[in-house]
Amino acid sequence: GICGTDIHVFRGEYLADYPIIPGHEFSGSIEEIGSRVKKLKTGDRVAVEPNIACDKCYNCLNNRQNFCLNWQGIGVTRPGAMAQYVVAPEKNVF
């Protein structure tokens, strides 16, 4: 679905890397997994947390991932879900 944030990204009113495929609120099923993925399998139905923390910066190491200094956002700084396929780290998939 379309969220208000997607509209702001489209209008250039929100931090984004252009060109960008929007779509940060989504669910779906897994079509393919990477070689290091352990907890998921092809066909799993999932929801995705679009905020990707680095887990290495000062804030992440102090359990403040919401203030990650190297934040990435699916649909904002990475290609989003308004495409046939989208890529997300295993830690962000539930």
Active-site positions?
A: 5, 8
CA distance 21 to 40: 25
Residue with tokens 């403040």: 64
Q: What is the dihedral of CA 36, 27, 22, 71, to 10 degrees?
A: -50
Q: Is the dihedral of CA 3, 7, 8, 12 positive or negative?
A: positive
- CA-closest candidate to residue 9, choices 81, 77, 88, 92: 77
